[in-house]
Amino acid sequence: MSFLERWFGEDYKWILFALALGLSMVSVYVLENLYGVYELGLTIPFLNEIARFPDIIYHIVVTPIGLYFLYKGFVKLYRKKRFTTEFLMGVAGLSALYIDYVFEAATVLFLFSIAEYFEEYIEDRARKSVEKLVKYIPNQARVVRDGAEEMIDVDRLSPGVNILVKPGERIPLDGVVIEGLSNVDESLVTGESVPVAKKAGDEVYAGTLNLDGVLYIRVTKHPKDTLVSKIVDLVIEARKNKADTENLVDRFVKYYVPVVILMAVVTASAPPLLFGADFNTWLYRSLILLVVACPSAFIISVPATFFTSITLSSRRGVIIKGGKYIERLGKVDTILLDKTGTLTFGEPRLVLECSESVVEDQDVLVQVASLERYSNHPIAMAFIKWAEESGVDYQKIRVMDVKEVAGKGIIGRVNGSLLAVGNKELVKEIGARLDGKKSGDGHTKVYIIRDGKLVGRVCLADRVRDDALEAVAKLKELGIRSAILTGDKRPVAEKVAAELGVDDYYAELNPVEKLELLRRFKSGAKAVAMVGDGINDAPALAEADVGIAMSDAGVDVTLEAADVVLVKNKLTQIPWLIKLGKKTNIIAWQNIALSLGVKLLLGIMGIMGLIPLWMTVAIGDDGVTLMLFLNILRLGYVK
């Protein structure tokens, strides 16, 4: 790979063209000023002689580039049976050179080169991004045979084989636990923030992380049939099925270019042949028609409109991967939201105001935090976070004989008392008595036992993002329907939906079910946006008309599958993006109408001989371009 390819990608030739033309224009500007010095009678040896011939630089640079575009246009005409922008740019550039409007020729090709680079720079990278997912799947599995362990490539394993997964390792294949007890982080697949306790008979998935216990697993699927493998396939398939809208300019010039060329030929030949008119006069008028009909302003203004929106978005912490996604954002009328890591932070927190939270006194929680500091479990982090935010000194408390009970909790001596913190299974193992209350609010419950007696019960819940309520409210103001799609439990989803005022919610969904549900929404909407953060959201992000990813918890495959990335993770950016998309679409169509309207008027006047060539360039090209770009600046006022 060359230096230019590394910096600019495979389409670096457009940048080379632009640089060459830009340098030529700067050079001629300098030389023309030197020529002005020469006319004043000042003598600068050698430079004054060079200044006599500034246009030579233009011809040397512009001619081969114009011929290149003309060649590309002929190739596409032969292969696709239609004229393209390259053909018209080549004709316009070389025609402008022919009538000695060399600066205009260079300007047209310069702007066209920049436009082509930015249009081709953003390409589909879904397959490359999906390949990154392989790092989450172990290449080998620890197979247990006759009491002996052996590391074997997963590709050689078949359903029915028994494997061993130790704490801290990722599970290599889908299977069923046959022995052992452990917490497994399944956020990679389900998006659920709290690890799930796995015991004999429970299903486990490839790529998920075994946290604290030893698991013996019987493999149930081939590597290519695992849930994560299916997610990868769905991302690729969804990308292929998401047909790219044919470029607006190319669709237009399919008819515009041949009509303009035909009109120019007729203008140059018909009057002399039919009426004996002066050939040079009508050739001049035909060149006026070619120059004024050259859609350089139109070609640049449409991509520039969308590129300006992309630039404005980047300044506000949003990455948009192409102009077509801005266009689709302006059409969105339904938005689907993942819960964990999107509407919420994806981290369990203590909810002491919960009706089912009962603690004798704060000292109990301080002792729990002192014990939990010896664990890396997410629930332990919740207690430590509470202690740090409360400003209590939990690290000086004496803790001894700490022991983690896989899949159940943690036990240790705190200030001489035996303290245990965990789930109901741990309570039963210790022999403590529960109070008989049933959990019905969807919160995760943690029980605290001291010296064999239940002394507290604490609710844990994922905290809703600070700006989620505002974002949903603004979406409602825009008339956009919203719904939550989550793999979490129904009571949890219901609580979050009610808190935020979301129109609907769907819970306990796996990635395939999320995708199927999204397709149902698409069938009844103008455009559907999906907002998510995990690999489990990747298929839906890729299938949606616009996929929006949160960047803090999103892994590579999610960010690549998405069309829009919220770098600063501000949900309030989403309604702003939709308003920006609507405004961008309006301005783009205004620019199209203004450009074509002015050029049509000037074209008619040029054929009638009412305006000179310089005026067509000044008004029809430079003037229109200035008006279009001033119109584009209105995007900066979107709030």
Instruction: Assess if residue 166 is contained within a domain.
Output: yes
| Burial class (CB within 10 angstroms; exposed 0-12, middle 13-18, buried 19+) of 561 | buried
Q: What is the pLDDT of residue 57?
A: 58
Same domain flag for 218 and 249: no
The percentage of residues in the chain with a pLDDT greater than 70, rounded to a whole number, is 66
Average pLDDT over residues 403-429: 88
**Nearest Cα to Cα of residue 296 among 26, 591, 585:** 591
Angle among Cα 397, 398, 404 to the nearest 5 degrees reads 105
Do 254 and 213 sit in the same domain of this protein?
A: no
| Helix intervals (H) in 41-80 | 47-50, 55-80
Residue range 242-250: mean pLDDT, rounded = 45
Average pLDDT over residues 458-478: 89
Alpha-carbon distance 371 to 369, whole Å? Answer: 5
C-alpha 235/C-alpha 228 separation (Å) is 11
Domain closes at, from 195, 225, 255: 225
Residues 249 and 592 sit within 8 Å (Cβ to Cβ): no
- Answer yes or no: do 297 and 218 share one domain: no
Residue 201, in any domain of the structure: yes
Q: Please state the rounded mean pLDDT for residues 228-248.
A: 52
**pLDDT attached to residue 462:** 81
- Segment (H or E) for 607: helix 573-607
- Would you call 202 a catalytic residue per the annotation? no
Per-residue three-class SS string for 503-539? CEEECCCCHHHHHHHHHHHHCCCCCEEEEECCHHHHH
Instruction: Quickly list DSSP for 290-339.
Output: HHHH-THHHHHHHHHHHHHHHHHHHHTTEEE--HHHHHHHTT--EEEEEI
What pLDDT sits at residue 285? 76
**Is the pLDDT higher at 98 or at 541?**
541
Top pLDDT among 343 and 232 is at 343
Same domain, 410 and 362: yes
**Predicted pLDDT of residue 506:** 93
603/292 Cα distance (integer angstroms): 6
Instruction: Report pLDDT for 234.
Output: 54
Asked if residue 256 and residue 196 are part of one domain, the reply reads no
Q: Is residue 277 part of a domain?
A: yes
**CATH number, domain with residue 434:** 3.40.1110.10
Handedness of CA 152, 158, 161, 162 (dihedral sign): positive
| Cα 368 → chain centroid | 41
The pLDDT of residue 318 is 79
Do 355 and 451 sit in the same domain of this protein? yes
Residues 306 and 264 in one domain: yes
Number of domains in the chain: 3
Q: Within a domain: residue 632?
A: yes
> E-strand spans in 434-496?
444-450, 453-464, 481-485
Tell me, yes or no, whether 220 and 267 share the same domain. Answer: no
Contacts of 500 (CB under 8 A, 6+ apart): 343, 464, 468, 469, 472
pLDDT of 178? 93
Residue 579 has pLDDT above 70, yes or no: yes
- What average pLDDT is seen over the chain? 76
**Residue where a domain terminates, one of 432, 464, 496:** 464
More confident residue, 324 or 453: 453
What are the DSSP E strand ranges found in 309-443? 318-320, 334-338, 344-351, 358-359, 399-405, 409-414, 417-422
Of the residues 174, 185, 212, 338, only one is catalytic, namely 338
Q: Is residue 451 in a domain?
A: yes
Residue 116 included in any domain? no
Spatial contact of 277 and 271, defined as CB atoms under 8 Å apart = yes
The DSSP result for 235-278, as a single string, is HHHHHHHSPPPPPHHHHHHHHHHHHHHHHHHHHHHHIIIII---
Asked which of 314-323, 426-435, 589-598 is least confident by mean pLDDT, the reply is: 314-323
Select from 523, 481, 531 the least CA-distant residue to 344: 531
Here the CATH number for the domain that contains residue 187 is 2.70.150.10
Domain membership flag for residue 208: yes
**pLDDT tens-digit series, residues 251-287:** 666 677 677 778 878 888 888 888 888 777 777 677 6
Q: Convert the pLDDT of each residue in 99-112 to its tens digit.
A: 666 666 666 666 56
* pLDDT tens per residue, range 352-380: 877 777 787 788 899 999 999 888 888 88
Q: What pLDDT shows up at residue 628?
A: 77
pLDDT of residue 35: 45
Any domain includes 55: no
Does the structure show a pLDDT above 50 at 437? Answer: yes
Q: Determine the pLDDT at residue 279.
A: 76
Q: Using pLDDT thresholds of 50, 70 and 90, give the confidence band for residue 20.
A: low
Shared domain check, 250 and 220: no
- For residues 214 and 268, membership in a common domain is answered with no
Q: Residue 292 is which amino acid?
A: V
Same domain, 361 and 292: no
Measured between alpha carbons, how far is 559 from 452 in angstroms, rounded to an integer? 48
Tell me: do 352 and 439 sit in the same domain.
Answer: yes
Residues paired with 419 in a beta bridge: 412, 450
**Residue range(s) defining the domain that contains residue 403:** 346-464
From 414, 429, 464, give the residue that closes a domain.
464
